[in-house]
A and B are shown apart, each in its own frame.
Chain A
Amino acid sequence: MTEMLKVVDLHACAGEKEILKGVNLTVNEGETCVLFGPNGSGKSTLMSTIMGYSSIQVTQGQILFKGQDITEMTVDQRAKLGIGMMMQRPPNIFGVKLGDLIRASSPNSEAVLSSAPEFKMQDFLDREVNVGFSGGEIKRSELLQLTAQKPEFILLDEPESGVDLENIDLIGRKVHDLLYDGNCPGRQRHVSSLVITHTGQIMDYIGADRGYVMRNGRIFCSGRPSDLLKEIRENGYGECDSCQQIISL
């Protein structure tokens, strides 16, 4: 199996503070991997580091994408290689309209813009990106932008959190479309992903091939996503503490 993303012994700091303390993780081509872990364990930081945000400094280790070392690349270089991200808390972009951003980021933007009603985003295209968007609106806007971008590898940071029951179905279906690239589910999927989830709800829509658990800046174990979720539901993350099975090289 070809490795899409391989993170090797990754250490990273935000300011003075070390947040990632030796992360090892692999996502194979076509795989959907889920990332569990308690609040503050470093999941979003890991995604920002993979995307290349400069608020986080890598101090050690490597990020490989399709075999290529991307650790030093800029955000746009990574985006051009095919990495896309749905942020948990994206910044407000004052003065930039959502529709204009979509036009600038897709060669096929008119088709995407005309599909805005499917995302319930038709009234947001003339609004400034993220400014005053509600929690659920941010998720739908991020999804519309990712749909314009068509990445080959997608980082999804809690796609379902804060979304009401009616919209969760919309989000689930749209994430599914992104990952399966519109093809029928029986076919081999092309788009790989790493998905952060606390509740596992999103797994009902996209399935998941492998799960990782993060604690305190490290990946503690990996396994079948449904097993991990069951364990976390029943015993919380306490078991991980006693288990101490840190994934290493």
Chain B
Amino acid sequence: MPADNQSVKEALGKKGAYGADLDLDRYDEGTKAPEQIDDLQSSGYKDYLEKVGVVADEMNRSGTLMFIDNGMSHCHASQQEGLEMMSTQEALRKYDWVKDYMWKAMDPAKDKYTAKSYLEDADGYFIRVKSGYHVKDPVQTCMMIKTDKTIQNVHNIVIVEDNASLEMITGCSTSHHANDALHIGVSEIYVGDNSNLSFSMIHSWGKQTGVRPRTATVVGKNSNYTNNYVILNPVGSLQSFPSATLAEGATAMYNTMCIAHEGSDIDTGGLVYLNGVGSSAQILSRSISMGGHMCARGRLVGNAPGAKAHLECRSIIMKDGGSTNAVPELEAHVADVEMTHEAAVGKIAQDQIEYLMSRGLTEDEAVSMIVRGFLSGSINGLPPALQSELDAAIEAANLGD
């Protein structure tokens, strides 16, 4: 998208459509020249990485790419044929055509956060799977904020060409010193025809961190895109509304699992444009409010005949003091579509808790078991590392009281 600089500059003053308006001037720019790390395991970031599903020993991974603040600090790819990994700026230098993928799925003048990324030529990760290749093990990426009072401002490009497949795990985290920071991450994701991409994002931020990811995905004919999003730890203000545009016969699945702790403000979900004939989508959100604010959004737009889509937002409220919103939206522009939604907000039914207690579980154990099941139900085949993270988060949340 040939953006004219002036309109993007003006967008710097444009609030996001949802979520609290964050003041960009409160933060410094994060460094573009962070420390370079060879071995993640001995790096001191190991625990942070594993908390967000990124394995430090890189076993059973096709590659790992890590950003600290605003620069790449680690990039290692296995000998997987057809896979390319580098920084976005490097890709722009290497291939003439990469610029055509920049700001094509995402409008830089969308709001102040995208404008900021655009105007600062943010770097990020570039992952490409060439046509005809199926990458066996997942590629993992990590976005780490190390410096307090800074903005992490990244621009990622993922391209899975025709007849190809890729699984990505991307973890984002802040170090203990960088509680009051802001993450802006623009991700533009392109899936070709007859391809598969599974994109799992796991966030673990600080109690004051502001988070404004901006993600847009274009899915080609007969391709499948799965987007998993997990946030279990406290965060300051998080707002994200990733979108996908589907071609003929394409499918998209958005699965979200969140815990809104006291002091956290989370506004997230998924938006799918069903533009192709016979395209389909499913948006599923499971959240727990532990006294925080939780808004689960889902929006389906049916633009082509034969579109089929379902939206489900379920939320359990464990503690008073916060608020929970479920905002399901269906919009159809042709007659031949089948779009449905379900939303439910409330506490866990007492008879379910007592049924488990009648088998000898304490009330805390019963509640944890139901909550764990409720949350994991949103994502099929949760990676084992995440399962134990989920258990730890539920334990830490001390749900029984």
Q: Does A54 contact B (CB under 8 A)?
A: yes
Q: Is the CB of A101 within 8 A of B359?
A: yes
Q: Is the CB of B361 within 8 A of A105?
A: yes
In this complex, what residue of B is CB-closest to A151? B360
Q: Is the CB of A87 within 8 A of B355?
A: yes
A-B contact count (CB 8 A): 77
* Best-surrounded residue of B357, B372, B374 (most CB of chain A within 10 A): B357
Q: Does B350 contact A (CB under 8 A)?
A: yes
From known contacts A76-B362, A76-B363, A104-B369, infer whether A91 and B355 are also in contact, taking CB-CB under 8 Å.
Answer: yes
Closest CB of chain B to A118's CB: distance in Å? 19
Docked Cα-Cα span, A75 to B358, in Å, equals 6
Q: Does A84 contact B (CB under 8 A)?
A: yes
Q: Does B376 contact A (CB under 8 A)?
A: yes
Closest CB of chain B to A81's CB: distance in Å? 10
Q: Which of B357, B362, B369 contacts A96, CB < 8 Å?
A: B369
Closest CB of chain B to A144's CB: distance in Å? 11
Docked Cα-Cα span, A196 to B359, in Å, equals 20
Q: Is the CB of B354 within 8 A of A94?
A: no
List of A residues within 8 angstroms of B373 by Cβ = 93-97, 100, 128
Q: Is the CB of A79 within 8 A of B359?
A: yes
Closest CB of chain A to B386's CB: distance in Å? 16
List of A residues within 8 angstroms of B370 by Cβ = 93-96
Q: Does A55 contact B (CB under 8 A)?
A: yes
Q: Does A222 contact B (CB under 8 A)?
A: no
Main SS of chain B's interface residues? helix
In this complex, what residue of B is CB-closest to A105? B359
B234-254 interface (Cβ within 8 A of A): none
List of A residues within 8 angstroms of B357 by Cβ = 74-76, 79
Docked Cα-Cα span, A80 to B358, in Å, equals 9
Q: Does A67 contact B (CB under 8 A)?
A: no
Closest CB of chain A to B287's CB: distance in Å? 13
Q: Does B349 contact A (CB under 8 A)?
A: yes
Docked Cα-Cα span, A90 to B361, in Å, equals 16
Q: Is the CB of A93 within 8 A of B358?
A: no
Docked Cα-Cα span, A79 to B360, in Å, equals 5
Docked Cα-Cα span, A149 to B360, in Å, equals 8
- B180-194 vs A, CB cutoff 8 Å, 1 = contact: the mask equals 000000000000000
In this complex, what residue of A is CB-closest to B350? A54
Closest CB of chain B to A98's CB: distance in Å? 11
* Best-surrounded residue of B356, B360, B372 (most CB of chain A within 10 A): B360
List of A residues within 8 angstroms of B354 by Cβ = 52-54, 75
Size of the B side of the interface (Cβ < 8 Å), in residues, is 24
Q: Is the CB of B369 within 8 A of A84?
A: no
Q: Is the CB of B356 within 8 A of A101?
A: yes
Q: Is the CB of B365 within 8 A of A104?
A: yes
From known contacts A54-B350, A79-B360, infer whether A95 and B355 are also in contact, taking CB-CB under 8 Å.
Answer: no
From known contacts A55-B351, A104-B365, infer whether A94 and B359 are also in contact, taking CB-CB under 8 Å.
Answer: no
Size of the A side of the interface (Cβ < 8 Å), in residues, is 30
B301-347 interface (Cβ within 8 A of A): none
Closest CB of chain A to B387's CB: distance in Å? 12
- A106-142 vs B, CB cutoff 8 Å, 1 = contact: the mask equals 0000000000000000000000100000000000000
Q: Is the CB of A94 within 8 A of B360?
A: no
Docked Cα-Cα span, A84 to B360, in Å, equals 9
Q: Does A197 contact B (CB under 8 A)?
A: no
Q: Is the CB of A101 within 8 A of B369?
A: yes
From known contacts A55-B350, A94-B374, infer whether A80 and B360 are also in contact, taking CB-CB under 8 Å.
Answer: yes
List of A residues within 8 angstroms of B361 by Cβ = 76, 104-105
Q: Is the CB of A94 within 8 A of B358?
A: no
* Best-surrounded residue of B354, B370, B374 (most CB of chain A within 10 A): B354
Docked Cα-Cα span, A53 to B356, in Å, equals 11
Docked Cα-Cα span, A90 to B355, in Å, equals 8
Q: Does B60 contact A (CB under 8 A)?
A: no
* Best-surrounded residue of B359, B363, B369, B377 (most CB of chain A within 10 A): B359
List of B residues within 8 angstroms of A55 by Cβ = 350-351
From known contacts A93-B352, A93-B370, infer whether A74 and B363 are also in contact, taking CB-CB under 8 Å.
Answer: yes
Docked Cα-Cα span, A26 to B283, in Å, equals 54
Q: Is the CB of A145 within 8 A of B359?
A: yes
Docked Cα-Cα span, A96 to B352, in Å, equals 10
Q: Is the CB of B350 within 8 A of A79?
A: no
Q: Is the CB of B359 within 8 A of A149?
A: yes
List of A residues within 8 angstroms of B372 by Cβ = 95
Q: Is the CB of A93 within 8 A of B359?
A: no
A32-71 interface (Cβ within 8 A of B): 51-55
In this complex, what residue of A is CB-closest to B372? A95
Docked Cα-Cα span, A51 to B366, in Å, equals 16
Q: Is the CB of B359 within 8 A of A53?
A: no
Closest CB of chain B to A92's CB: distance in Å? 8
Closest CB of chain A to B318's CB: distance in Å? 15
Docked Cα-Cα span, A87 to B374, in Å, equals 23
List of A residues within 8 angstroms of B369 by Cβ = 96, 100-101, 104
List residues of chain B with CB under 8 Å of any chain A CB.
Answer: 349-352, 354-363, 365-366, 369-370, 372-377
**What are 12 A-to-B residue pairs whose CB atoms are below 8 Å?**
A52-B358, A53-B351, A75-B354, A76-B357, A80-B360, A91-B349, A93-B370, A95-B376, A96-B356, A101-B356, A104-B356, A145-B359
Q: Apart from A76-B366, A79-B357, A95-B375, what 16 extra A-B contacts exist at CB < 8 Å?
A: A53-B351, A55-B350, A74-B363, A75-B357, A76-B357, A79-B359, A84-B358, A92-B352, A94-B377, A95-B374, A95-B376, A96-B369, A97-B373, A105-B361, A128-B373, A145-B359
List residues of chain A with CB under 8 Å of any chain B CB.
Answer: 51-55, 74-76, 78-80, 84-85, 87, 90-97, 100-101, 104-105, 128, 145, 148-149
